[in-house]
Structure 1
Protein backbone atom coordinates (compact mmCIF):
# COMPACT_ATOMS: atom_id res chain seq x y z
CA UNK A 1 0.00 0.00 0.00
CA UNK A 2 1.04 3.63 -0.45
CA UNK A 3 2.16 5.64 2.58
CA UNK A 4 3.92 8.95 3.08
CA UNK A 5 7.06 8.77 5.19
CA UNK A 6 8.93 11.55 6.95
CA UNK A 7 12.46 10.61 5.91
CA UNK A 8 14.21 13.22 8.10
CA UNK A 9 13.24 16.34 10.03
CA UNK A 10 12.95 19.40 7.83
CA UNK A 11 10.75 21.11 5.25
CA UNK A 12 8.04 19.59 3.03
CA UNK A 13 10.74 18.12 0.79
CA UNK A 14 11.46 15.41 3.40
CA UNK A 15 8.08 13.77 2.69
CA UNK A 16 8.26 10.71 0.45
CA UNK A 17 5.53 8.51 -1.01
CA UNK A 18 6.59 4.88 -0.70
CA UNK A 19 5.08 1.43 -0.19
CA UNK A 20 4.62 -0.75 2.86
CA UNK A 21 2.84 -4.08 3.35
CA UNK A 22 -0.92 -3.76 3.76
CA UNK A 23 -2.22 -4.77 7.22
CA UNK A 24 -3.72 -8.25 7.46
CA UNK A 25 -6.85 -9.03 9.47
CA UNK A 26 -6.10 -10.10 13.03
CA UNK A 27 -2.48 -8.90 13.12
CA UNK A 28 -3.29 -6.24 15.74
CA UNK A 29 -5.53 -7.74 18.48
CA UNK A 30 -8.32 -5.37 19.49
CA UNK A 31 -7.88 -3.11 16.46
CA UNK A 32 -9.71 -3.00 13.14
CA UNK A 33 -8.62 -1.96 9.68
CA UNK A 34 -9.93 1.10 7.85
CA UNK A 35 -9.33 1.70 4.15
CA UNK A 36 -8.88 5.45 3.96
CA UNK A 37 -10.45 7.82 1.47
CA UNK A 38 -9.22 11.07 3.02
CA UNK A 39 -6.77 12.31 5.67
CA UNK A 40 -6.50 15.78 7.14
CA UNK A 41 -3.26 17.77 7.27
CA UNK A 42 -2.99 19.32 10.72
CA UNK A 43 -0.71 21.89 12.31
CA UNK A 44 0.70 19.13 14.50
CA UNK A 45 1.78 17.25 11.35
CA UNK A 46 3.75 20.28 10.18
CA UNK A 47 5.44 20.78 13.53
CA UNK A 48 6.34 17.09 13.93
CA UNK A 49 7.82 17.01 10.42
CA UNK A 50 9.87 20.13 11.18
CA UNK A 51 11.36 18.49 14.29
CA UNK A 52 9.75 20.83 16.82
CA UNK A 53 8.45 17.99 19.01
CA UNK A 54 11.49 15.72 19.08
CA UNK A 55 11.74 15.96 22.88
CA UNK A 56 8.16 14.70 23.25
CA UNK A 57 8.57 11.72 20.91
CA UNK A 58 10.63 9.34 23.02
CA UNK A 59 12.84 7.16 20.86
CA UNK A 60 10.75 7.47 17.69
CA UNK A 61 12.90 8.55 14.75
CA UNK A 62 12.31 8.88 10.98
CA UNK A 63 11.21 7.25 8.84
CA UNK A 64 7.65 7.35 10.17
CA UNK A 65 4.16 8.07 8.84
CA UNK A 66 2.37 11.27 9.86
CA UNK A 67 -1.34 11.89 10.19
CA UNK A 68 -4.16 11.95 12.73
CA UNK A 69 -7.52 12.76 11.07
CA UNK A 70 -9.04 10.22 8.71
CA UNK A 71 -12.20 9.12 6.92
CA UNK A 72 -12.74 5.84 5.11
CA UNK A 73 -14.52 2.48 5.13
CA UNK A 74 -14.24 -0.35 7.63
CA UNK A 75 -12.51 -3.50 6.44
CA UNK A 76 -13.47 -5.32 9.67
CA UNK A 77 -16.65 -5.07 11.78
CA UNK A 78 -16.26 -2.92 14.87
CA UNK A 79 -18.31 -1.95 17.93
CA UNK A 80 -19.46 1.65 17.52
CA UNK A 81 -20.81 4.36 19.84
CA UNK A 82 -24.37 3.16 19.20
CA UNK A 83 -24.01 -0.47 18.09
CA UNK A 84 -22.05 -2.74 15.76
CA UNK A 85 -20.53 -1.11 12.66
CA UNK A 86 -20.43 -3.65 9.80
CA UNK A 87 -17.77 -4.01 7.13
CA UNK A 88 -18.08 -1.17 4.61
CA UNK A 89 -19.37 1.39 7.11
CA UNK A 90 -18.12 4.89 6.38
CA UNK A 91 -16.23 6.03 9.48
CA UNK A 92 -14.15 8.98 10.64
CA UNK A 93 -11.89 9.57 13.60
CA UNK A 94 -8.37 10.41 14.59
CA UNK A 95 -5.30 8.50 15.64
CA UNK A 96 -3.85 9.72 18.98
CA UNK A 97 -0.42 9.94 17.37
CA UNK A 98 1.43 11.17 20.48
CA UNK A 99 -0.06 8.61 22.81
CA UNK A 100 0.62 5.77 20.38
CA UNK A 101 4.07 6.93 19.18
CA UNK A 102 4.25 3.98 16.80
CA UNK A 103 4.95 6.14 13.76
CA UNK A 104 1.87 4.71 12.01
CA UNK A 105 -0.28 7.67 10.98
CA UNK A 106 -3.06 8.33 8.50
CA UNK A 107 -1.05 9.33 5.43
CA UNK A 108 -1.67 5.76 4.26
CA UNK A 109 -4.15 3.66 2.31
CA UNK A 110 -5.03 1.35 5.23
CA UNK A 111 -4.64 1.94 8.97
CA UNK A 112 -5.24 0.09 12.23
CA UNK A 113 -7.73 1.80 14.54
CA UNK A 114 -9.15 1.20 17.99
CA UNK A 115 -12.95 0.87 17.76
CA UNK A 116 -13.41 3.73 20.24
CA UNK A 117 -11.67 6.09 17.79
CA UNK A 118 -14.38 5.52 15.16
CA UNK A 119 -17.63 7.34 14.46
CA UNK A 120 -20.02 6.56 11.59
CA UNK A 121 -20.29 9.26 8.93
CA UNK A 122 -23.84 10.40 8.06
CA UNK A 123 -24.88 10.04 4.42
CA UNK A 124 -25.08 13.83 4.07
CA UNK A 125 -21.36 14.30 4.91
CA UNK A 126 -18.68 13.48 2.34
CA UNK A 127 -15.29 11.96 3.13
CA UNK A 128 -13.39 15.24 2.79
CA UNK A 129 -15.63 17.12 5.22
CA UNK A 130 -15.55 14.19 7.63
CA UNK A 131 -11.73 14.07 7.55
CA UNK A 132 -11.54 17.79 8.34
CA UNK A 133 -13.38 17.46 11.65
CA UNK A 134 -12.34 14.85 14.27
CA UNK A 135 -9.13 16.17 15.86
CA UNK A 136 -10.25 19.79 15.60
CA UNK A 137 -13.70 19.32 17.10
CA UNK A 138 -12.38 17.22 19.98
CA UNK A 139 -9.65 19.80 20.63
CA UNK A 140 -12.30 22.52 20.64
CA UNK A 141 -14.86 20.71 22.80
CA UNK A 142 -12.23 19.47 25.24
CA UNK A 143 -10.71 22.95 25.44
CA UNK A 144 -14.10 24.43 26.21
CA UNK A 145 -14.48 21.97 29.08
CA UNK A 146 -11.01 22.80 30.40
CA UNK A 147 -11.82 26.51 30.37
CA UNK A 148 -14.88 25.82 32.52
CA UNK A 149 -16.44 29.23 31.89
CA UNK A 150 -20.06 29.96 32.86
CA UNK A 151 -22.59 31.47 30.44
CA UNK A 152 -21.97 35.19 30.00
CA UNK A 153 -18.21 34.92 30.59
CA UNK A 154 -15.81 36.47 28.08
CA UNK A 155 -13.55 34.19 26.02
CA UNK A 156 -10.69 35.37 23.81
CA UNK A 157 -9.87 32.98 20.95
CA UNK A 158 -6.60 33.52 19.10
CA UNK A 159 -6.48 31.81 15.72
CA UNK A 160 -10.25 32.12 15.35
CA UNK A 161 -9.89 31.97 11.55
CA UNK A 162 -8.34 28.50 11.84
CA UNK A 163 -9.98 25.09 11.86
CA UNK A 164 -10.02 24.61 15.64
CA UNK A 165 -10.79 28.26 16.32
CA UNK A 166 -13.89 28.32 14.12
CA UNK A 167 -15.27 25.19 15.75
CA UNK A 168 -14.55 26.46 19.25
CA UNK A 169 -16.20 29.77 18.39
CA UNK A 170 -19.40 27.97 17.41
CA UNK A 171 -19.38 25.74 20.51
CA UNK A 172 -18.61 28.66 22.82
CA UNK A 173 -21.35 30.84 21.38
CA UNK A 174 -23.84 27.98 21.74
CA UNK A 175 -22.77 27.70 25.40
CA UNK A 176 -23.61 31.36 25.99
CA UNK A 177 -20.07 32.79 26.10
CA UNK A 178 -19.16 36.26 24.87
CA UNK A 179 -16.42 35.60 22.31
CA UNK A 180 -13.70 37.98 21.17
CA UNK A 181 -12.16 36.44 18.05
CA UNK A 182 -8.64 37.25 16.85
CA UNK A 183 -8.82 36.70 13.11
CA UNK A 184 -7.42 37.50 9.71
CA UNK A 185 -8.61 40.77 8.25
CA UNK A 186 -11.63 40.09 6.07
CA UNK A 187 -12.96 37.20 8.15
CA UNK A 188 -14.86 39.39 10.60
CA UNK A 189 -18.33 39.15 9.04
CA UNK A 190 -18.21 35.37 8.74
CA UNK A 191 -16.96 34.91 12.30
CA UNK A 192 -19.72 37.14 13.63
CA UNK A 193 -22.25 34.99 11.80
CA UNK A 194 -20.67 31.97 13.53
CA UNK A 195 -21.10 33.62 16.93
CA UNK A 196 -18.31 36.11 17.67
CA UNK A 197 -19.41 39.20 19.58
CA UNK A 198 -16.27 41.15 18.64
CA UNK A 199 -13.43 40.57 16.19
CA UNK A 200 -9.85 41.81 16.46
CA UNK A 201 -7.44 41.68 13.53
CA UNK A 202 -4.38 39.53 14.19
CA UNK A 203 -1.00 41.23 14.52
CA UNK A 204 1.75 41.83 17.03
CA UNK A 205 0.69 40.73 20.55
CA UNK A 206 0.89 44.25 22.02
CA UNK A 207 -1.43 45.62 19.33
CA UNK A 208 -3.85 42.71 19.69
CA UNK A 209 -3.95 43.23 23.45
CA UNK A 210 -4.67 46.92 23.01
CA UNK A 211 -7.65 46.14 20.77
CA UNK A 212 -8.91 43.42 23.11
CA UNK A 213 -8.88 45.90 25.99
CA UNK A 214 -11.22 48.15 24.00
CA UNK A 215 -13.85 45.40 24.24
CA UNK A 216 -12.89 43.99 27.66
CA UNK A 217 -11.25 46.79 29.68
CA UNK A 218 -11.15 44.66 32.83
CA UNK A 219 -9.71 41.65 31.02
CA UNK A 220 -11.26 38.44 29.73
CA UNK A 221 -12.21 35.38 31.75
CA UNK A 222 -10.53 32.86 29.48
CA UNK A 223 -8.07 32.58 26.61
CA UNK A 224 -7.94 29.75 24.09
CA UNK A 225 -4.64 30.10 22.26
CA UNK A 226 -5.33 28.56 18.88
CA UNK A 227 -2.67 30.72 17.19
CA UNK A 228 0.17 29.47 19.45
CA UNK A 229 1.01 32.98 20.69
CA UNK A 230 1.85 31.77 24.16
CA UNK A 231 2.81 33.85 27.19
CA UNK A 232 2.07 37.34 25.79
CA UNK A 233 -1.66 36.55 25.80
CA UNK A 234 -1.70 36.08 29.57
CA UNK A 235 -1.91 39.87 29.81
CA UNK A 236 -5.43 39.73 28.36
CA UNK A 237 -6.70 37.74 31.34
CA UNK A 238 -8.22 38.78 34.61
CA UNK A 239 -6.55 37.52 37.76
CA UNK A 240 -7.45 33.84 38.34
CA UNK A 241 -8.63 33.43 34.76
CA UNK A 242 -7.88 30.39 32.59
CA UNK A 243 -5.49 29.95 29.67
CA UNK A 244 -5.68 26.89 27.41
CA UNK A 245 -2.72 26.10 25.14
CA UNK A 246 -2.85 23.60 22.27
CA UNK A 247 0.88 23.03 21.75
CA UNK A 248 3.28 21.69 24.41
CA UNK A 249 5.90 24.29 23.56
CA UNK A 250 3.43 27.16 23.98
CA UNK A 251 2.33 26.47 27.56
CA UNK A 252 3.22 29.56 29.63
CA UNK A 253 4.05 29.65 33.32
CA UNK A 254 1.15 30.66 35.52
CA UNK A 255 0.94 34.13 37.03
CA UNK A 256 -1.65 36.12 39.01
CA UNK A 257 -3.47 32.94 39.94
CA UNK A 258 -4.20 32.14 36.29
CA UNK A 259 -4.95 28.48 35.66
CA UNK A 260 -2.92 27.18 32.70
CA UNK A 261 -4.11 24.05 30.89
CA UNK A 262 -2.65 22.03 28.00
CA UNK A 263 -5.27 20.71 25.59
CA UNK A 264 -4.12 17.41 24.07
CA UNK A 265 -7.11 15.86 22.35
CA UNK A 266 -8.15 12.34 23.27
CA UNK A 267 -10.34 10.23 20.93
CA UNK A 268 -14.02 10.20 21.81
CA UNK A 269 -16.18 8.38 19.26
CA UNK A 270 -19.53 9.60 20.59
CA UNK A 271 -18.47 13.25 20.52
CA UNK A 272 -17.18 12.89 16.98
CA UNK A 273 -20.45 11.24 15.96
CA UNK A 274 -22.44 14.08 17.53
CA UNK A 275 -20.32 16.64 15.69
CA UNK A 276 -20.72 14.82 12.35
CA UNK A 277 -24.48 14.68 12.92
CA UNK A 278 -24.49 18.44 13.55
CA UNK A 279 -22.56 19.02 10.34
CA UNK A 280 -25.13 16.89 8.50
CA UNK A 281 -27.94 18.94 10.06
CA UNK A 282 -26.13 22.23 9.22
CA UNK A 283 -25.88 23.06 12.90
CA UNK A 284 -22.07 23.08 12.86
CA UNK A 285 -19.85 24.43 10.09
CA UNK A 286 -16.58 22.80 9.09
CA UNK A 287 -14.46 23.98 6.19
CA UNK A 288 -12.15 22.30 3.69
CA UNK A 289 -9.59 24.68 2.20
CA UNK A 290 -8.03 22.37 -0.41
CA UNK A 291 -8.24 18.75 -1.53
CA UNK A 292 -5.05 17.28 -2.98
CA UNK A 293 -3.97 13.75 -3.94
CA UNK A 294 -1.65 11.86 -1.61
CA UNK A 295 1.15 12.02 -4.18
CA UNK A 296 1.48 15.81 -3.80
CA UNK A 297 1.65 15.75 0.00
CA UNK A 298 4.66 18.11 0.00
CA UNK A 299 2.57 20.76 -1.77
CA UNK A 300 -0.22 20.19 0.76
CA UNK A 301 2.24 20.94 3.57
CA UNK A 302 3.48 24.07 1.77
CA UNK A 303 -0.07 25.36 1.43
CA UNK A 304 -0.86 24.55 5.05
CA UNK A 305 2.26 26.42 6.21
CA UNK A 306 1.31 29.45 4.08
CA UNK A 307 -1.80 29.44 6.22
CA UNK A 308 -4.02 32.13 4.71
CA UNK A 309 -6.86 30.01 3.30
CA UNK A 310 -9.16 29.08 6.19
CA UNK A 311 -10.04 25.44 6.57
CA UNK A 312 -8.41 22.05 6.64
CA UNK A 313 -6.28 20.79 3.74
CA UNK A 314 -7.30 17.22 3.00
CA UNK A 315 -5.38 14.48 1.20
CA UNK A 316 -7.42 12.20 -1.05
CA UNK A 317 -6.18 8.61 -0.87
Structure 2
Protein backbone atom coordinates (compact mmCIF):
# COMPACT_ATOMS: atom_id res chain seq x y z
CA UNK A 1 0.00 0.00 0.00
CA UNK A 2 1.92 3.03 -1.26
CA UNK A 3 1.34 6.70 -0.57
CA UNK A 4 0.81 7.76 -4.17
CA UNK A 5 0.42 11.46 -3.31
CA UNK A 6 0.37 13.56 -0.17
CA UNK A 7 -3.14 14.10 1.13
CA UNK A 8 -6.12 12.17 2.45
CA UNK A 9 -6.54 8.44 3.07
CA UNK A 10 -7.51 7.94 -0.58
CA UNK A 11 -3.83 8.58 -1.40
CA UNK A 12 -3.08 5.09 -0.07
CA UNK A 13 -3.21 2.80 -3.08
CA UNK A 14 -2.48 -0.82 -3.89
CA UNK A 15 0.70 -1.24 -5.94
CA UNK A 16 2.60 -4.24 -7.25
CA UNK A 17 6.30 -3.88 -6.50
CA UNK A 18 9.16 -6.32 -7.14
CA UNK A 19 9.81 -8.72 -4.28
CA UNK A 20 12.64 -7.35 -2.12
CA UNK A 21 15.96 -9.19 -1.96
CA UNK A 22 17.95 -9.48 1.25
CA UNK A 23 21.28 -7.72 1.01
CA UNK A 24 24.18 -8.44 3.39
CA UNK A 25 23.01 -8.04 6.96
CA UNK A 26 19.34 -8.23 6.01
CA UNK A 27 16.46 -10.65 6.04
CA UNK A 28 13.25 -10.48 4.06
CA UNK A 29 10.25 -10.56 6.41
CA UNK A 30 6.90 -11.91 5.26
CA UNK A 31 4.82 -9.29 7.06
CA UNK A 32 1.79 -10.72 8.82
CA UNK A 33 0.94 -7.68 10.96
CA UNK A 34 1.78 -3.98 10.82
CA UNK A 35 0.50 -1.41 13.31
CA UNK A 36 -1.15 1.81 12.14
CA UNK A 37 0.35 4.78 13.98
CA UNK A 38 -0.53 8.49 14.13
CA UNK A 39 2.97 9.02 12.73
CA UNK A 40 1.79 7.25 9.56
CA UNK A 41 -0.96 9.82 9.14
CA UNK A 42 1.51 12.64 9.65
CA UNK A 43 3.78 11.23 6.95
CA UNK A 44 0.86 10.73 4.58
CA UNK A 45 -0.11 14.40 4.78
CA UNK A 46 3.50 15.60 4.82
CA UNK A 47 3.56 16.90 8.42
CA UNK A 48 6.68 15.24 9.79
CA UNK A 49 10.10 16.30 11.13
CA UNK A 50 12.50 16.87 8.28
CA UNK A 51 9.76 17.85 5.87
CA UNK A 52 7.51 15.78 3.62
CA UNK A 53 8.72 12.70 1.77
CA UNK A 54 8.19 12.89 -2.00
CA UNK A 55 5.69 10.19 -3.08
CA UNK A 56 5.53 7.36 -3.78
CA UNK A 57 6.68 5.80 -0.53
CA UNK A 58 5.66 3.21 2.05
CA UNK A 59 4.37 3.83 5.56
CA UNK A 60 4.76 1.54 8.56
CA UNK A 61 7.09 1.31 11.55
CA UNK A 62 6.05 -1.83 13.45
CA UNK A 63 6.09 -5.23 11.76
CA UNK A 64 5.67 -8.82 12.87
CA UNK A 65 5.86 -11.92 10.73
CA UNK A 66 8.29 -14.60 9.65
CA UNK A 67 11.62 -14.72 7.89
CA UNK A 68 11.15 -15.49 4.18
CA UNK A 69 14.82 -15.31 3.14
CA UNK A 70 18.17 -14.57 4.74
CA UNK A 71 20.91 -12.44 3.26
CA UNK A 72 24.68 -12.92 3.50
CA UNK A 73 26.38 -12.44 6.87
CA UNK A 74 23.20 -13.07 8.87
CA UNK A 75 23.54 -15.95 11.34
CA UNK A 76 20.98 -15.13 14.02
CA UNK A 77 17.86 -15.74 11.93
CA UNK A 78 16.82 -18.67 9.81
CA UNK A 79 14.11 -19.29 7.27
CA UNK A 80 10.73 -19.48 8.99
CA UNK A 81 11.77 -17.75 12.23
CA UNK A 82 9.04 -15.58 13.76
CA UNK A 83 10.17 -12.01 14.30
CA UNK A 84 8.93 -8.61 15.41
CA UNK A 85 10.70 -5.33 14.89
CA UNK A 86 10.71 -1.64 14.24
CA UNK A 87 11.62 -0.14 10.91
CA UNK A 88 13.46 3.10 11.82
CA UNK A 89 11.17 5.11 9.59
CA UNK A 90 12.83 8.35 10.69
CA UNK A 91 15.85 7.05 8.75
CA UNK A 92 14.27 5.02 5.94
CA UNK A 93 11.53 7.60 5.22
CA UNK A 94 9.49 5.00 3.41
CA UNK A 95 12.20 3.02 1.71
CA UNK A 96 11.32 0.60 3.14
CA UNK A 97 8.12 0.84 5.16
CA UNK A 98 5.95 -1.84 6.72
CA UNK A 99 2.77 -1.54 4.62
CA UNK A 100 3.82 -4.39 2.36
CA UNK A 101 3.62 -8.16 2.13
CA UNK A 102 7.42 -8.47 2.13
CA UNK A 103 10.02 -6.12 3.62
CA UNK A 104 13.81 -6.28 3.37
CA UNK A 105 14.81 -5.41 6.93
CA UNK A 106 18.19 -5.05 8.57
CA UNK A 107 18.63 -7.90 11.03
CA UNK A 108 19.37 -5.29 13.70
CA UNK A 109 15.80 -4.00 13.41
CA UNK A 110 14.33 -7.33 14.50
CA UNK A 111 14.07 -9.55 17.56
CA UNK A 112 12.69 -13.07 17.91
CA UNK A 113 8.96 -13.33 18.52
CA UNK A 114 8.44 -15.48 21.64
CA UNK A 115 6.49 -18.70 21.29
CA UNK A 116 2.82 -18.24 22.09
CA UNK A 117 2.76 -14.50 21.36
CA UNK A 118 0.49 -13.62 18.45
CA UNK A 119 1.85 -11.34 15.73
CA UNK A 120 -1.06 -8.88 16.09
CA UNK A 121 -0.48 -7.72 19.70
CA UNK A 122 3.27 -8.00 19.15
CA UNK A 123 3.05 -5.44 16.35
CA UNK A 124 1.71 -2.83 18.78
CA UNK A 125 4.85 -2.89 20.91
CA UNK A 126 7.94 -1.51 19.14
CA UNK A 127 7.30 2.17 18.45
CA UNK A 128 4.94 2.76 21.38
CA UNK A 129 6.71 0.83 24.13
CA UNK A 130 10.18 2.00 23.12
CA UNK A 131 8.98 5.61 23.11
CA UNK A 132 7.39 5.20 26.54
CA UNK A 133 10.44 3.57 28.08
CA UNK A 134 12.86 6.08 26.58
CA UNK A 135 10.66 9.00 27.65
CA UNK A 136 10.74 7.83 31.26
CA UNK A 137 14.49 7.31 31.01
CA UNK A 138 14.95 10.99 30.11
CA UNK A 139 13.76 11.88 33.60
CA UNK A 140 15.90 11.59 36.70
CA UNK A 141 13.52 9.43 38.68
CA UNK A 142 15.80 7.34 40.85
CA UNK A 143 13.42 7.58 43.82
CA UNK A 144 9.66 7.03 43.68
CA UNK A 145 7.86 10.16 42.55
CA UNK A 146 4.51 11.31 41.19
CA UNK A 147 4.17 11.16 37.42
CA UNK A 148 1.26 12.61 35.46
CA UNK A 149 0.73 10.79 32.14
CA UNK A 150 -1.49 12.31 29.46
CA UNK A 151 -2.99 10.06 26.81
CA UNK A 152 -2.93 7.02 29.08
CA UNK A 153 -5.66 5.42 26.95
CA UNK A 154 -3.30 5.42 23.96
CA UNK A 155 -0.33 3.33 22.97
CA UNK A 156 2.58 5.37 24.34
CA UNK A 157 0.65 6.60 27.38
CA UNK A 158 -0.63 3.14 28.22
CA UNK A 159 2.83 1.61 28.18
CA UNK A 160 4.26 4.60 30.10
CA UNK A 161 1.62 4.19 32.81
CA UNK A 162 2.54 0.54 33.27
CA UNK A 163 6.30 1.06 33.21
CA UNK A 164 6.18 4.00 35.63
CA UNK A 165 3.90 2.18 38.06
CA UNK A 166 6.15 -0.88 38.03
CA UNK A 167 9.08 1.35 38.98
CA UNK A 168 7.20 2.41 42.09
CA UNK A 169 5.98 5.80 40.93
CA UNK A 170 2.55 7.14 41.79
CA UNK A 171 0.94 7.56 38.38
CA UNK A 172 -1.85 10.03 37.70
CA UNK A 173 -3.21 8.89 34.35
CA UNK A 174 -5.38 11.02 32.07
CA UNK A 175 -7.89 8.73 30.35
CA UNK A 176 -10.39 9.10 27.55
CA UNK A 177 -14.04 9.22 28.53
CA UNK A 178 -15.43 5.86 29.67
CA UNK A 179 -11.95 4.30 29.58
CA UNK A 180 -11.21 4.54 33.28
CA UNK A 181 -11.42 0.80 33.92
CA UNK A 182 -8.75 -0.09 31.37
CA UNK A 183 -6.38 2.66 32.48
CA UNK A 184 -6.91 1.87 36.14
CA UNK A 185 -5.95 -1.72 35.40
CA UNK A 186 -2.57 -0.56 34.10
CA UNK A 187 -1.46 0.38 37.58
CA UNK A 188 -2.46 4.04 37.79
CA UNK A 189 -2.95 5.31 41.32
CA UNK A 190 -5.56 7.78 40.07
CA UNK A 191 -7.42 8.04 36.77
CA UNK A 192 -8.24 11.56 35.63
CA UNK A 193 -10.87 12.29 32.96
CA UNK A 194 -9.60 13.98 29.82
CA UNK A 195 -11.99 16.87 30.43
CA UNK A 196 -10.31 17.76 33.74
CA UNK A 197 -8.45 21.02 34.20
CA UNK A 198 -4.90 19.78 34.70
CA UNK A 199 -3.90 23.00 36.41
CA UNK A 200 -6.10 21.87 39.31
CA UNK A 201 -4.34 18.48 39.46
CA UNK A 202 -0.84 19.71 40.08
CA UNK A 203 1.65 20.72 40.85
CA UNK A 204 3.41 17.43 40.17
CA UNK A 205 7.16 17.01 39.76
CA UNK A 206 6.99 15.16 36.45
CA UNK A 207 4.62 15.18 33.47
CA UNK A 208 4.88 12.74 30.58
CA UNK A 209 2.83 14.42 27.86
CA UNK A 210 2.23 11.45 25.58
CA UNK A 211 -0.51 13.03 23.46
CA UNK A 212 0.95 15.72 23.57
CA UNK A 213 -1.38 18.50 24.66
CA UNK A 214 1.33 21.07 25.35
CA UNK A 215 0.39 24.11 27.40
CA UNK A 216 -2.44 22.41 29.30
CA UNK A 217 -0.06 19.68 30.48
CA UNK A 218 2.59 22.22 31.40
CA UNK A 219 0.20 23.88 33.86
CA UNK A 220 0.32 20.75 35.99
CA UNK A 221 4.11 20.55 36.39
CA UNK A 222 5.70 22.14 39.43
CA UNK A 223 8.17 24.97 39.11
CA UNK A 224 11.57 23.39 38.62
CA UNK A 225 9.96 20.12 37.50
CA UNK A 226 10.25 18.11 34.32
CA UNK A 227 7.97 17.60 31.35
CA UNK A 228 8.67 15.29 28.44
CA UNK A 229 6.60 15.38 25.26
CA UNK A 230 6.49 13.16 22.20
CA UNK A 231 6.33 16.10 19.79
CA UNK A 232 7.62 19.67 19.98
CA UNK A 233 5.45 21.84 22.26
CA UNK A 234 5.53 25.56 23.11
CA UNK A 235 8.17 26.62 25.65
CA UNK A 236 7.09 27.18 29.23
CA UNK A 237 7.64 30.42 31.12
CA UNK A 238 11.45 30.62 31.63
CA UNK A 239 10.87 31.97 35.12
CA UNK A 240 9.35 28.68 36.23
CA UNK A 241 12.55 26.71 35.72
CA UNK A 242 10.71 23.79 34.12
CA UNK A 243 12.95 21.41 32.20
CA UNK A 244 11.35 20.44 28.89
CA UNK A 245 12.42 17.28 27.09
CA UNK A 246 11.51 16.00 23.65
CA UNK A 247 11.34 12.24 23.14
CA UNK A 248 11.70 10.99 19.59
CA UNK A 249 12.08 7.23 19.42
CA UNK A 250 15.41 5.60 18.69
CA UNK A 251 15.91 1.96 17.82
CA UNK A 252 17.20 -0.11 20.74
CA UNK A 253 17.22 -3.79 19.90
CA UNK A 254 18.09 -5.06 23.38
CA UNK A 255 15.35 -2.98 24.96
CA UNK A 256 12.85 -4.05 22.30
CA UNK A 257 13.55 -7.71 23.02
CA UNK A 258 13.01 -7.05 26.73
CA UNK A 259 9.69 -5.27 26.17
CA UNK A 260 8.38 -7.93 23.78
CA UNK A 261 9.38 -10.55 26.33
CA UNK A 262 7.45 -8.71 29.02
CA UNK A 263 4.34 -8.71 26.84
CA UNK A 264 4.73 -12.43 26.20
CA UNK A 265 5.11 -13.06 29.93
CA UNK A 266 1.99 -11.06 30.78
CA UNK A 267 3.98 -8.32 32.54
CA UNK A 268 2.88 -5.70 29.99
CA UNK A 269 -0.57 -5.24 28.52
CA UNK A 270 -1.65 -3.95 25.14
CA UNK A 271 -4.90 -3.89 23.26
CA UNK A 272 -6.05 -4.01 19.67
CA UNK A 273 -9.18 -2.17 18.57
CA UNK A 274 -9.42 -3.95 15.23
CA UNK A 275 -7.53 -5.94 12.65
CA UNK A 276 -8.04 -5.10 8.98
CA UNK A 277 -6.56 -6.41 5.74
CA UNK A 278 -3.57 -4.48 4.46
CA UNK A 279 -5.58 -3.48 1.41
CA UNK A 280 -7.96 -1.56 3.71
CA UNK A 281 -5.22 0.74 4.99
CA UNK A 282 -7.10 3.83 3.81
CA UNK A 283 -10.12 2.96 5.92
CA UNK A 284 -7.84 2.21 8.87
CA UNK A 285 -6.40 5.71 8.54
CA UNK A 286 -9.89 7.21 8.53
CA UNK A 287 -10.72 5.38 11.75
CA UNK A 288 -7.51 6.44 13.48
CA UNK A 289 -7.99 10.07 12.42
CA UNK A 290 -11.58 10.04 13.72
CA UNK A 291 -10.33 9.08 17.20
CA UNK A 292 -12.20 7.30 19.96
CA UNK A 293 -10.56 3.91 19.35
CA UNK A 294 -9.89 1.59 22.26
CA UNK A 295 -6.54 0.25 21.17
CA UNK A 296 -4.52 0.12 17.97
CA UNK A 297 -5.57 -0.88 14.46
CA UNK A 298 -3.34 -3.59 13.04
CA UNK A 299 -3.21 -4.39 9.34
CA UNK A 300 -2.78 -8.04 8.46
CA UNK A 301 -1.45 -9.75 5.39
CA UNK A 302 -1.70 -13.48 4.87
CA UNK A 303 -2.29 -15.64 7.91
CA UNK A 304 -1.55 -13.93 11.21
CA UNK A 305 -0.40 -16.50 13.77
User: With structure 2 as the length reference, what TM-score do the two structures score?
Assistant: 0.91
Structure with more of its chain in helix, by fraction? 1
**Alignment-derived partner of residue 266 in structure 1:** 250
Is 2:261 the counterpart of 1:277? yes
Post-superposition Cα deviations, 1:229-278, rounded to whole Å, max 9, x if no partner, equal: 11332121112211111124x36456322221111111122222212221
| Bigger mean CA deviation after superposition, 250-259 or 221-230 | 250-259
**Alignment-derived partner of residue 56 in structure 1:** 50
- Please report the RMSD computed on the Cα atoms of aligned residues, expressed in angstroms: 1.9
Is 2:237 the counterpart of 1:247? no
Q: Distance in 2 between matches of 1:314 and 1:66?
A: 13
* 1:93 and 1:267 in contact (8 A); partners too: no
| Bigger mean CA deviation after superposition, 290-299 or 194-203 | 194-203
Q: Distance in 1 between matches of 2:293 and 2:93?
A: 30
**Alignment-derived partner of residue 154 in structure 1:** 146
**Alignment-derived partner of residue 209 in structure 1:** 198
Post-superposition Cα deviations, 1:16-60, rounded to whole Å, max 9, x if no partner, equal: 11111111233xx3322211111000010111112222x6137x3
Q: Distance in 1 between matches of 2:21 and 2:208?
A: 42
Match of 1:133 among 118, 125, 144: 125
Q: Distance in 1 between matches of 2:228 and 2:46?
A: 23
**Alignment-derived partner of residue 291 in structure 1:** 275
Q: Distance in 1 between matches of 2:235 and 2:43?
A: 20
Match of 1:222 among 206, 214, 236: 206
SS class of match (1:9):
coil
Q: Distance in 2 between matches of 1:299 and 1:36?
A: 19
* 1:251 and 1:262 in contact (8 A); partners too: no
Q: Distance in 2 between matches of 1:254 and 1:20?
A: 51
* 1:78 and 1:85 in contact (8 A); partners too: no
Q: Structure 1 residues 115 and 252, CA, compared in 2 at 3 Å: closer, same or farther?
A: farther
* 1:149 and 1:221 in contact (8 A); partners too: no
* 2:149 and 2:174 in contact (8 A); partners too: yes
**Alignment-derived partner of residue 38 in structure 2:** 43
Q: Distance in 2 between matches of 1:272 and 1:128?
A: 16
* 2:218 and 2:236 in contact (8 A); partners too: no
Q: Distance in 2 between matches of 1:23 and 1:78?
A: 11
Q: Structure 1 residues 134 and 293, CA, compared in 2 at 3 Å: closer, same or farther?
A: same
Q: Distance in 2 between matches of 1:160 and 1:193?
A: 11
* 1:200 and 1:208 in contact (8 A); partners too: no
Match of 1:121 among 113, 129, 132: 113
Q: Distance in 2 between matches of 1:35 and 1:157?
A: 36
Which segments of 5 or more consecutive residues in structure 2 lack a partner in the other structure? none
